Amino acid sequence: MKIFASFAAGVATLLALSSSQPALAESESPTLKSIADVAPSALSDSVEQPLSNDGTLFNDARTGLRLSIETVVANRLEIHSNQSHRVLRTQDGFNVVPLAKTDGSVQTIFVITKPTNPKSINFNLDFPKQSSVKILPSGEVLIVDAKGVMIGGISRPWAYDANGKPVKTQFEFSKGKLIQHVFHDSANFAYPIIADPWIGIDLYHDPYVTKHKQGYRINVKPTLWGLTTVSSPTWFAHRAEVLTKLGQNAPLWSDTIQEQFYCHIFGSPAGYPEYNMESWSPLVPWFQSLFLYRCNP
């Protein structure tokens, strides 16, 4: 669990994209504008980063997690609303935009430009030996080590057409491949359709403790990626990460702190940008606290 405490030292190493690949035709519909029109939040807190010539999208040296794509045949740099990002073209005709976030995660948007595009896209997902990949019923992907500790994950996938209509999508993992299926043949959709796998490690920034007359308060701020990975089967990872990052203050964690914490996760993002859990609050089950006290019993 120490990897969470040192994540900032080894986040998302992205190198320069090979100049030998041909540029995409400038006459094509601007990909970044399509993303901004359908899901503008995807471009929030994103920084332009070059890509390695082996198609690496995300690479964390400490954990050994790596997400990549093999079939890049062309690339260009697009600019939209003072943001510039690399747009990649795959052999299957997808446009792919890796968006490196300020919290160290990488949201990879891929764009389905026409009905004849394939209904799935393959990514290579590498992870340490003795670790395993679990796809939850809620859609998230968890990568856990041999002790069951989460070392990274991919948030629940989504897909929308050009009019904002949801498109059914889901992950599959097979033989080192993370496959995102987008079932855009099941209805009449407006193109382009956009979808994303969003990979990350840190669910939270470093927590801190403040003292008050009544007791103490534990304060935690979720990362952007952490706000997207919130289904109840992931809560063990939320708790474990915060306890690890609390360090010598971990013994301050109590039952009432925990119930307030779970309440904030379930009610996310209502408590954003920071969850504050108070030692003096009465012990109330999180589901009661949510509806009766808005997580502040």
The answer to whether residues 218 and 163 belong to one domain is no
Whether residue 117 is found in the same domain as residue 59:
yes
Same domain for 194 and 245, yes or no, is no
Same domain flag for 133 and 86: yes
Whether residues 190 and 224 fall in one domain: no
**Domain identity same for 273 and 177:** no
Residues 105 and 142 in one domain: yes
Domain of residue 157 covers 2-200
Residue 29 pLDDT:
53
Same domain, 46 and 193: yes
**3-class secondary structure for the chain?**
CHHHCCHHHHCCCCCCCCCCCCECCCCCCCHHHHHHHHCHHHHCCEECCCCCCCCEEEEECCCCEEEECCCEEEEEEEEECCEEEEEEEECCCCEEEEEEECCCCEEEEEEECCCCCCCEEEEEEECCCCCEEEECCCCCEEEECCCCCEEEEECCCEEECCCCCECCEEEEEECCEEEEEECCCCCCCCCCEEEECEEECCCECCCEEEEECCEEEEEECECCCHHHCCCHHHHHHHHHHHHHHHHHHHHHCCHHHHHHHHHHHHCCCCCCCCEEEECCCCCCCHHHHHHHHCCCC
* Whether residues 196 and 218 fall in one domain: no
- Listed residues 176, 200, 224: the one ending a domain: 200
Question: Is there a single domain that holds both residue 149 and residue 259?
Answer: no
- Please state the domain count of the chain: 2
Residue finishing a domain among 181, 200, 219: 200
**120 and 70: one domain?**
yes
Check whether residue 233 and residue 157 sit in a common domain.
no
Q: What is the pLDDT tens value at each position of the chain, 297 positions in all?
A: 333 333 333 333 333 333 344 444 443 458 999 999 999 889 888 887 766 667 889 999 888 999 999 888 888 888 888 888 889 889 988 999 999 999 999 999 999 999 999 999 999 999 998 999 999 999 999 999 999 999 999 999 999 999 999 999 999 999 899 999 999 987 789 999 999 999 999 999 999 999 999 999 999 999 999 999 999 999 999 999 999 999 999 999 999 999 999 999 998 766 678 999 999 999 999 999 999 988 988
Q: Which of 149, 172, 200 is at the close of a domain?
A: 200
What global pTM score does this model have? Answer: 0.85
The pLDDT assigned to 51 comes to 66
pLDDT at 19: 38
| pLDDT at residue 70, as a whole number | 85
The confidence score (pLDDT) of residue 30 equals 86
